[in-house]
Amino acid sequence: MSEKRNLTDTFAALGDPTRFAIVERLLQDGELPAGTLHGVADLSAPAMSRHLRVLREAGIVSQRVDAQRRLYQVRPEAVKAINDWAISYADFWSGSFDRLSAALRKRTAK
Amino acid sequence: MSEKRNLTDTFAALGDPTRFAIVERLLQDGELPAGTLHGVADLSAPAMSRHLRVLREAGIVSQRVDAQRRLYQVRPEAVKAINDWAISYADFWSGSFDRLSAALRKRTAK
DNA sequence: GCGTTAATTAACGCTTATTGGAAATAAAAA
DNA sequence: TTTTTATTTCCAATAAGCGTTAATTAACGC
């Protein structure tokens, strides 16, 4: 039920420096509990929790419950959606748009 | 002098539905005067002008003066920057990450 | 059951963004 | 020069977002 989402919500969620840092941390380290993420910015647990909620509601991260911990990870579809959008305009921004990139474009556009 | 910019600002600017619609319109139609863009949303000219300013300051669009009109267009680098970011995590979100996409990745990352 | 740990929710204030309307600026047309 | 068209800036009001502390829920070990 958190599938049909437009890119605007995604961009809005990533538009905050703290949330962007959270996402990059998760992209690099994989799945992490909320507590560990406190390190990415100097803010309280509640503040972190609310940022995670925003990311969750935007469909950017998924939450998994493990005992009293909440494990977060980035949803691949979210990043892929951003890539698909940018790629769909590749002939505009890419000076060297050629057969090779067109192949990937077709592939990821599917 | 509006080159060194982080993705966060870009995402923040695109996080607004009106501004995202403006950018998509410009991506599809190319260069357009501010007046023509009024059509993308039901808002006053001043409101539109302010949205365009945000996009300009985020480095997403460029402005060209033609007589009394201001012509706007998307800066290719802005969309490319988004693509580069997503591509840099392609091995995470792409289930079928292979040699072909790796080639494009190397290419666009340059 | 109790206390501890992990995380979220609630309530509050503060700062920043956004908006509409009016006025200002600038160039072209009459 | 006066008028018209296009766009931006100024201003006041409203709305949204973010952070903090305090309270709450949930699960573990003793």
- Comparing A50-59, A88-97, B95-104, the range with the smallest average pLDDT is B95-104
Question: For chain A, what are the domain ranges?
Answer: 1-74, 76-110
Note the pLDDT tens digit of each residue in B53-100.
999 999 999 999 988 899 999 999 999 999 999 999 988 988 755 666
What are the C-alpha distances in Å from A62 to residues A21, A72, A96, B25? 16, 6, 36, 32
Q: What is the pLDDT of residue B102?
A: 64
Q: Which of residues 70-109 of B touch A (CB under 8 A)?
A: 74, 76-80, 82-83, 85-87, 89-90, 92-96, 100-101, 103-104, 107-108
Residues of chain B contacting residue A27, judged by C-beta atoms under 8 Å apart? 89, 92
Residues of chain B contacting residue A15, judged by C-beta atoms under 8 Å apart? 8-9, 11-15
Give the mean pLDDT of A12-16. Answer: 95
Nearest chain B CA: its distance from A102 CA (Å): 10
Minimal Cβ distance to B103: which of A76, A95, A100: A100
Q: What is the DSSP letter of A43?
A: -
Is the CB of residue A67 less than 8 Å from the CB of residue A12? Answer: no
- CA dihedral A85→A89→A94→A98, nearest 10 degrees, is 100
Instruction: Write down the mean pLDDT value for chain B.
Output: 85
Residues 43-62 of A with CB under 7 A from strand C: 45-46, 48-50, 52-53
Taking each helix axis as running N to C, give the angle between helix B99-109 and helix A99-109, from 0 to 180 degrees, rounded to the nearest 10.
Answer: 120
Is the CB of residue B92 less than 8 Å from the CB of residue A27? Answer: yes
Is the CB of residue A108 less than 8 Å from the CB of residue A37? Answer: no
Is residue B110 predicted with pLDDT exceeding 60?
A: no
Give the mean pLDDT of A38-60. Answer: 92
Give A92: exposed, middle or buried? Use CB within 10 Å, 0-12, 13-18, 19+: middle
Is residue B3 predicted with pLDDT exceeding 70?
A: no
Query: pLDDT exceeding 70 applies to what percent of chain A?
Result: 82
At the topology level, CATH places domain B1-74 in: Arc Repressor Mutant, subunit A (1.10.10)
Q: CA A28, C1' C6: Å apart?
A: 23
Handedness of CA B41, B9, A71, B97 (dihedral sign): positive
Is the CB of B8 within 7 Å of strand D? Answer: no
Assign 3-state DSSP to chain B and report helix, strand, coil percentages, each to 5.
60, 15, 25
Is the CB of residue A15 less than 8 Å from the CB of residue B3? Answer: no
Q: What is the pLDDT of residue B43?
A: 82
Is the CB of residue A53 less than 8 Å from the CB of residue A60? Answer: no
Q: What is the pLDDT of residue B73?
A: 94
CA atoms of A28 and B24, how far apart (whole Å): 30
Of B94 and A95, the one with more pLDDT: B94
